[in-house]
Structure 1
Amino acid sequence: MYHDRDFGLYIEGRWSWGSGTQKKPILDPATEGVIGHIPDANSDDIEQALQSAAAGFKLWKAVQPWERSEKLRNVSQLLRQRIDELSIVMSTESGKPLAESRGEWIACAEQFEWYAEEAKRIFGQIYPGRDEATRMSVIYQPVGVVAAFSAWNFPALLPARKIAAALAAGCSVILKPAGETPGCAAAIVKACHDAGLPPGAVNMVTGNSARIAEQLIRSPIVRKVSLTGSTPVGKQLLHLCADGVKKATMELGGHAPVLIFADADIEAAAEACAKAKFRNCGQVCASPSRFYLQEAAYDRFAKRFTEVAQQLTIGRFDAPGADFGPLANARGLAHSKRIVKDALERGAKLLTGGKQPAGLDRGFFFEPTVLGHVPDDATIMIEEPFAPIAPLAVFRDFDDVVARANATPFGLTGYVFSRDLRTATMAAEALEVGMVGINEVAIASADAPFGGIKESGMGREGGSLGIKDYLEAKFIKTRLT
């Protein structure tokens, strides 16, 4: 099935393998076998995509909002109709269990559904003039061509957040998906094509990320950049954006603190946190990833959390009962081994996991791992783990845990578990993050803004705020003659 799909370049409304001869393999992370290839776009291909997007912008911005809305709704419906096939594509190239893949495609379709409505709600403002002959107003217009870069951990949802919002605003898009998971991005682009979007409104290029990013962002045609990726990559792209004074939305790394106060429902919190932590093999930027437990809660939380981790069935998505897949690539596997080794050397206790599972000699599998009494100087408490490894630590009081939670440069998400309204509210307000879940770990949805502060990024995706980053405000003052 994977080999029968289009995974080439999509430019001017057509699929092709471009003008170059280089191609890159795509691996099944569960077997390390090659499942397909993508073209490595050269400079001529990228320039063609830029020209296509420029022409597409002129066509698409002239489409009236209600018609744009209808086409975006059609994209959502097509994705829902194809969900069985697309879930297999996602699980094959990302390693996710089928249930997670289905859930992500539903979330992807919801982005297009939400922004189909937002396309009709780009409201301006009218201001009273200072005299009877003066009129003042603000209108919002699409920023222009958008260069969108998405990551491999959510290969459908992340492109959808960018494409749907940009198209709703009237922008055209050039998408550069992650090399590990191009099939999902291609499926979204195909749905846009089948929904009747004009040529050039959506374009896709694949290949060397650094080279493609530099050429796209340096081009005067691109006026807006949106990235979901690591903080180091975000900083590099921001430097490129600065040279052209271009708008940027950056959804970067996270290292979410979880504050478990002693008055919380400890067993329920442990179960919810474990399921969230090990979702997508821990490769979630908003995942709960540093667990701070008040002393009286530690033993009960650690026990239940470890039990949930041990109940997960590891295997390829089509293996019977598999609900925990591999890491996406060899880099993730090596990183997992390194941070576990470092934590243990610094005095952490291994509660479960910590190694590659027996019997799975191929693939990038790593056991769900829980580390107890992890010191603050361990690498896993400082660097974004992006792995199925949960570090547990103890805290004494409110001020202690807030200071430690805010001690990293990350500021994407945070979580608080407490039955006390005052404690929960004060903690949520004190955390230096863009999003907080109180007694809740599922906080992302199409109708809510998603994004962080500090080195976790800038701007928001999703919700009514998400479309604003693809619009420019224009003030108009009129004197009646």
Structure 2
Amino acid sequence: MSYDTDLKLFIDGSWRSGEGRGTHDVVNPVSGSGIAALPLATKADIDEALAAANRSWPEWRATDVEKRAAILHKTADLLKERADHIASILTQEQGKPVGEARLEVLGSASMFSWYAEEIKRDYGRTLVRPSGQRSIVIRQPVGPTATFTPWNFPIYLLAKKVAAALAAGCTVISRPPQETPGCTGELFRALADAGIPNGVAQLVHGEADLVSRTLIGSPVIRKVSFTGSVPVGKHLMKLAADDMKRITLELGGHAPVLIFDDCDLDKTLDMVVPQKFRNAGQVCVSPTRFYVQESIYDAFLKGFAERTAKVKVGDGLLPDTKMGPLANDRRPEAIAELVGDAEAHGARVLAGGHKGDSGFFFQPTLLGDVPSDARIMNEEPFGPVAVTARFSTFDEAIEQANRLPFGLAAFAFTENGRRANLLGDAIESGMVGINSFAISTADAPFGGVKDSGFGSEGGKEGLESYQVVKAIHQA
């Protein structure tokens, strides 16, 4: 398949490229070679986008919800119609198997469809007052919004923010990752073709510090939404604090997985191994720290290693590929360092453990008996590595699950109903999956606690994050 897309900025209803702008080389992670040149926004471009977002906001917030919903529904329809085309672009930019990429595009479409209908259910409430008096509580759009998203799920994470913000009546300026500009550009192409008014939704690629400081430092922007690393999230939070801007942060995690000895072991392994190596482990909720009850620990490792050895690694465009490369040239070396440190601390490499010979590949890897002081037990690897340790008691498992400063997602496998209830209560995490990995859906909130950030995307909570509350009292 060819890399068939036109990389441009989308500002105030027009597509921009060239004209003396700097460029960034987009690289295919399978080969490590360049496939396109991305135009980068100048300060003047960003200022123009801000002026357009500010100008178009009053009209967009006043637009009837049915009209807003129609545009969102049309965007969803276009994404579904173009899913194969967009998935091919995504795979060539990011590396994931094209089947996974297609599901990501369809999931993005579902976000637009769901918020198109959810905005119609944003009812507010009436308070009880004496006869002749009225007190009502309503929600209104917060205003122009800036969004920043990463490369691991480039179109889905962008859709989560943009769909909710537009549904709420906010205008949006988005800065997606430079590694994956083609697929995110196709999302904005769908919005444009669906009839989004000029200035309401805009796309600016550019140098991260310039874009973030200009957007967050502008009085036009009322809300910031960021998905990415903890250090960058804290940096943006400090910038937002200067003007008391609202901010939503989803900052990743280091998901624990508690495997109890009453689980259906084969069924559990058949679930956890594909999930661990989905998107080459480059998933903020990827199951990573496997704590396994000691009576089944050896059997778990044996079954995990056998399944890991069968994971087909290669070009994501090939039909039999189950795991593609990592997204950029920094990741294989970073993963290798973490694996080496774990070995130095006494961990056993039971599968994989090495970089590929070309491109940005790293083998699907399983580490056994990893001590808690190894770096990989404390730093999110964000790659295809499963780390394991044994536990004996419920309290010990909970202690290990909660010991890190992260709290985005956690998982547990048990057939004991009472234990499942206790796990849901005791684990410090924004999301808990018990015998399931289905935790990211359009109708459910997605967000973390502790260093994993705050605020939610998805569900009604995602819509509310782009709104302010107003109480109106009339006597």
Question: Which TM-score tier does this pair reach, normalised by the shorter chain?
Answer: over 0.9
CA contact (8 A) 1:150 1:159 kept: yes
1:267 equivalent in structure 2: 266
Amino acid at match of 1:268: K
1:73 equivalent in structure 2: 73
TM-score, with structure 2 as normaliser = 0.98
1:308 and 1:59 map into 2 onto residues whose CA distance is 55
SS of the aligned residue for 1:291 comes to strand
2:80 and 2:298 map into 1 onto residues whose CA distance is 44
Amino acid at match of 1:134: Q
SS of the aligned residue for 2:154 comes to coil
Deviation at 1:370, TM superposition (A): 0.1
2:107 and 2:402 map into 1 onto residues whose CA distance is 30
1:436 equivalent in structure 2: 432
CA contact (8 A) 2:3 2:92 kept: no
* Count of aligned pairs: 475
CA RMSD of superposed structures (Å): 1.2
CA contact (8 A) 2:21 2:42 kept: no
Deviation at 1:58, TM superposition (A): 2.1
Deviation at 1:137, TM superposition (A): 0.8
Give unpaired runs (5+ residues) of structure 2. none
Deviation at 1:319, TM superposition (A): 3.3
Tell me whether 1:87 sits opposite 2:83 in the alignment.
no
Deviation at 1:264, TM superposition (A): 0.8
SS of the aligned residue for 1:355 comes to coil
CA contact (8 A) 1:271 1:304 kept: no
Tell me whether 1:336 sits opposite 2:332 in the alignment.
no
Structure 1 pair 333–348 and aligned structure 2 pair: CA distance change class (3 A): same
Q: Which moved more, 1:75-84 or 1:299-308?
A: 299-308
CA contact (8 A) 2:3 2:89 kept: no
SS of the aligned residue for 2:465 comes to helix
2:218 equivalent in structure 1: 219
Q: Which moved more, 1:406-415 or 1:438-447?
A: 438-447
1:384 equivalent in structure 2: 380
CA contact (8 A) 1:276 1:287 kept: yes
Amino acid at match of 1:437: G
CA contact (8 A) 2:137 2:471 kept: yes
Structure 1 pair 300–217 and aligned structure 2 pair: CA distance change class (3 A): same
1:298-337 correspondence to structure 2 within 5 Å: 298-319=297-318, 321-337=320-336
CA contact (8 A) 1:270 1:302 kept: no
Structure 1 residues 357-413: Cα deviation after superposition (integer angstroms, max 9, x where no partner)? 4xxx32100000000010011111101110100001001101111111101010000
1:160 equivalent in structure 2: 159
1:120 and 1:113 map into 2 onto residues whose CA distance is 12
Deviation at 1:271, TM superposition (A): 2.0
Structure 1 pair 18–140 and aligned structure 2 pair: CA distance change class (3 A): farther
CA contact (8 A) 2:88 2:317 kept: no
1:9-158 correspondence to structure 2 within 5 Å: 9-17=9-17, 20-129=20-129, 131-158=130-157
1:402 equivalent in structure 2: 398
1:73 and 1:313 map into 2 onto residues whose CA distance is 37
1:66 and 1:440 map into 2 onto residues whose CA distance is 36
CA contact (8 A) 1:342 1:379 kept: yes
1:66 and 1:163 map into 2 onto residues whose CA distance is 17
SS of the aligned residue for 1:191 comes to helix
CA contact (8 A) 1:20 1:42 kept: no
Structure 1 residues 188-242: Cα deviation after superposition (integer angstroms, max 9, x where no partner)? 1000000011001100100111220011001000000001101111000100111
TM-score, with structure 1 as normaliser = 0.97
Q: Which moved more, 1:334-343 or 1:315-324?
A: 315-324
SS of the aligned residue for 1:166 comes to helix
Deviation at 1:5, TM superposition (A): 2.1
Give unpaired runs (5+ residues) of structure 1. none
Structure 1 pair 320–136 and aligned structure 2 pair: CA distance change class (3 A): closer
SS of the aligned residue for 2:66 comes to helix
Deviation at 1:78, TM superposition (A): 0.4
Return the match for 2:412 from 401, 413, 416. Answer: 416
Structure 1 pair 4–97 and aligned structure 2 pair: CA distance change class (3 A): closer
Structure 1 residues 242-279: Cα deviation after superposition (integer angstroms, max 9, x where no partner)? 11101111111110100001111112112211111100
Structure 1 residues 266-295: Cα deviation after superposition (integer angstroms, max 9, x where no partner)? 121122111111000000001111000000
CA contact (8 A) 1:60 1:201 kept: yes
